[in-house]
Amino acid sequence: MPTLIRPALAHVRSRIFDSERWAPYQSREDDIIIATYSKCGTTWLQRIVSMLVFQSTDPQSLAENSPWPDARFVMPVERVWAIAEAQRHRRFFKSHLSLDLLPLFQEVKYIHVTRDGRDAAMSLYNHRLNLSADALALRDKVSLSDPKFGDPYPRISGSPAEFFRRWVREDPAGNANELSYFHMENSFWAERTRENILLIHYNDLKSSLPNEIARIADFLGIGLPGSLGPKIVEAAGFEAMKRDRGSLLPPSSSAAWGVDSDQFLFKGTNGRWQDAIMPDDNAFYEDRAKMEFPAKLAQWVAHGRTIITEPREA
| Averaged pLDDT for residues 138-165 | 94
Domain positions in the chain are 4-313
Q: What pTM was estimated for this model as a whole? A: 0.92
* Average pLDDT over the chain, rounded to an integer: 91
pLDDT tier at 268, thresholds 50, 70, 90: low
Max avg pLDDT among 103-112, 169-178, 254-263: 103-112
Handedness of CA 133, 125, 182, 308 (dihedral sign): positive
| The total number of residues written for the chain in this structure | 314
Q: Is the pLDDT of residue 271 over 80?
A: no
pLDDT band at 59 (very low <50, low <70, confident <90, very high): confident
Amino acid found at 175: N
Query: By the 8 A CB rule, do 101 and 12 touch?
Result: yes
Phi, psi of 217 (to 5 degrees): -60, -45
Under the banding of pLDDT at 50, 70 and 90, the label for residue 163 is: very high
* Of residues 257 and 210, more confidently modeled: 210
> CA nearest 95: which of 112, 108, 79, 107?
112
Q: What pLDDT sits at residue 259? A: 54
Instruction: Compute CA distances 259 → 135, 162, 173, whole Å.
Output: 7, 22, 17
pLDDT band at residue 266 using 50, 70 and 90 as cut-offs: very low
Residues 6+ apart with CB under 8 A from 221: none
Answer yes or no: are the C-beta atoms of 95 and 68 closer than 8 Å.
yes
Q: What confidence category does residue 269 fall into, taking pLDDT thresholds of 50, 70 and 90?
A: low
Q: For residue 282, name the pLDDT band (cuts at 50, 70, 90).
A: very high
CATH architecture of 4-313: 3-Layer(aba) Sandwich (3.40)
Residue 34's pLDDT is 98
Let me know: does 187 contact 112? Beta carbons within 8 Å: no
Specify the amino acid at residue 47.
R
Q: Computed over its alpha carbons, how large is the radius of gyration of the chain? A: 18
